[in-house]
Copies of this chain bind each other. A is one copy, B any other.
Amino acid sequence: MAEQQQNLASLDSSIMDRLPSYSSTLFEAKTQKQLTFETIAKHLGRSEVAVAAIFYGQARASPEDVAGLTHLLGISTESNVASQMMGFPDRGRAGPMPPVEPLIYRLYEIVQNYGYAFKAVMNEKFGDGIMSAICFNSKVEKEVDETGAAWVVITLKGKWLPFTRF
């Protein structure tokens, strides 16, 4: 159980002022109930990444999500939290860019080092356009190789949007 506790993500108090106020409420209830994002995501029928994004104020909760979350986390549906979670997120301000957190920086570094390579490959496969980050989903999976080493597999899937000719 001690081990389980350690693997529960919580909210660093020093970034709270960059997030909507319901973020702390959600994280506190999650810690209180000792729930992982995996458990919550299954309960809501959504991706773990999306659920974590809701907790950080970077994705919008639907009425069903709010109902599910308030029930699972024991938050009053009458509270402000419920209505705030259905607001339109003001995305992108959770952390500094370039990221200073080593884990997030590695993702940034991938964009920095392979950005043009991704562009060239996509342009050849799809033409002139972009991969949408809106009409988009993502998941994180764990793989263990033959030596027992763990690997992270992140899938980024976005709709291809060709530039309109006008």
Contacts and interface: CB of A to CB of B under 8 A. Distances in A.
Interface of A: 2, 5-10, 12-15, 17-21, 31, 36-38, 46-50, 52-53, 55-60, 62-63, 83-84, 86-138, 140, 142-143, 149-166
Contact of A131 (B20, B87, B154): B154
10 contacts: A9-B88, A10-B87, A53-B113, A53-B117, A59-B163, A88-B119, A88-B120, A94-B113, A94-B116, A118-B154
**Oligomer copy total:** 10
B121 A86 contact: no
Contacts of A126: 142, 150, 152
Given A106-B130, A111-B111, A115-B95, A88 B123 contact: yes
B107 A111 contact: yes
Contacts of A155: 153-156
Given A17-B14, A154-B156, A156-B156, A100 B97 contact: yes
